[in-house]
Amino acid sequence: MSSSPFSSICALLLFLAVIFSSSIASSAAPIGSPVFARRSILREINNGDKNGKLVGKADYGVELNATNFDAVLKDTPATYAIVEFFAHWCPACRNYKPHYEKVARLFNGADAIHPGIILMTRVDCALKINTNLCDKFSVGHYPMLLWGPPSKFVAASWEPKQENNEIRPIDDGRTADRLLKWINNQIGSSYGLDDVKYENDYLQINASDPGQIARAVYDVEEATSTAFDIIFRLKMIKTETRASLIKFLQLLVAHHPSRRCRKGSGDILVNFDDMYPSEMWSTNNVQPISDGKEKGLQNMHICGKEVPRGYWMFCRGSRKETRGFSCGLWVLLHSLSVRFEDGESQMAFTAICDFIHNFFVCEECRQHFYGMCSSVSNPFKSAREFVLWLWNAHNKVNERLMKEEASLETGDPRFPKTIWPPKQLCPSCYLSQSQKIGQMEWDNDEVFKFLVSYYGRTLVTVYKEKELLGDAESNKAPAEDLVASTNAIVVPIGAALAIAVASCCFGALAWFWRSRQKNRKQRRSWN
The residues carrying an active-site annotation are 90, 93
**Could you tell me which residues are beta bridge partners of residue 122?**
63, 84
Three-class SS of residue 391?
helix
Q: Residues 110, 45: contact at Cβ < 8 Å?
A: yes
What is the radius of gyration, based on Cα positions, of the chain? 25
- Taking residue 50's Cβ as centre, other Cβ atoms within 10 Å add up to 6
Q: Residues 97, 171: contact at Cβ < 8 Å?
A: no
All residues at 6 or more sequence positions from 54 whose CB lies less than 8 Å from its CB, including other chains? 47, 48
- Taking residue 29's Cβ as centre, other Cβ atoms within 10 Å add up to 15
CA distance 395 to 18: 40
CA distance 293 to 477: 35
Judged by phi (left if over 0) then psi (alpha if -120 to 50, else beta), residue 415 lies in beta
> Order of strands, edge to edge, in the sheet holding 168-169?
62-64, 118-124, 80-86, 144-148, 168-169
CA distance 485 to 483: 5
Q: Residues 42, 115: contact at Cβ < 8 Å?
A: yes
- Taking residue 47's Cβ as centre, other Cβ atoms within 10 Å add up to 12
- Taking residue 109's Cβ as centre, other Cβ atoms within 10 Å add up to 23
CA distance 334 to 419: 15
CA distance 493 to 347: 21
Which long-range contacts does 171-174 make (Cβ < 8 Å, 24+ apart)? 173/145, 174/96, 174/99
CA distance 423 to 460: 23
Q: Residues 237, 288: contact at Cβ < 8 Å?
A: no
**Closest by Cα among 272, 278, 277, 280 to 297:** 272
